[in-house]
Copies of this chain bind each other. A is one copy, B any other.
């Protein structure tokens, strides 16, 4: 059996309450230094580890934060960055990080009541609002600190850190149109695209310039777009430029164009969105709309933690702008 607080108490010749005090409240003056040190030493020797479930039961705090991430359309280092930053902040504040990866399957499971929300002190919901809502059966619990972060799917009535892609998207389109490119395609895996800021920027910029829309649907990830773009070009010829819904698609498209012997940007300009590190390491680095992820996550963490400390604070809402960065893939 694992050693408990009572075992330590017996060995140190005190009550278990005293052990609890000695171990937990570093600055509690109502205990003598001698006793405290003796207890700490005894606990160490006996290899005492607190039972977190027991502590959580009585305090109502688990010491855990859930990072709830939507993983359906995005596949790579992007989410790792998110996880990494969140973990770093949480660790520095002595919280553990529970990772909840959600997707369409989560929605299904939630409907059948086969998935339940995590029991944690707070939730960072990153692009995962629908799944989180579904897990809670539609109604978010009033007293659980939650912060939504990301570009869309933001929840209402909770703290939020929103990423604004609009300006970056318009800049990207201006950049492409300004180069005199006429046939500019929009490559996306998003089926409900019509209220996405990237899509909106694409459509309205093209309309304004009097250019025809060319919207291409693709699977998500890299391998799918890679294959698809080759076939597409074979059938309909190559566009002058491709504005991609995200960087993974852009990287796939880049590779697909190279596969069929087309040069980027000589033949086709490619622009992505997200700011994945990977885009910088290609022979012709990909222009992209950089999202200040670290900033977003740090702020998100700050918001949950602040609300844990003070549940009644006013709701916070920050919008963080992403920025278009022109690189070689679009002749930048």
Q: Which residues of A contact B (CB under 8 A)?
A: 2, 44, 47, 49-54, 56-57, 62, 64, 71, 76-77, 79-80, 83-84, 87-88, 91, 96-101, 113, 116-119, 137, 139, 141, 222, 226, 251-252, 254-255, 258, 277-278, 280-284
Contacts and interface: CB of A to CB of B under 8 A. Distances in A.
Contacts of A62: 52-53
Nearest to A43: B113
B52 A119 contact: yes
B99 A97 contact: yes
Contact of A281 (B87, B88, B118, B278): B278
14 contacts: A2-B141, A49-B119, A51-B119, A53-B57, A53-B62, A77-B80, A77-B278, A80-B83, A87-B99, A96-B98, A98-B98, A255-B281, A278-B278, A283-B283
A53 B50 CA distance: 13
Contacts of A96: 98, 100, 118
A83 B84 contact: no
A188 B149 CA distance: 37
A54 to B, nearest CB: 5
A121 to B, nearest CB: 11
B101 A91 contact: yes
Nearest to A50: B116
Contacts of A88: 101
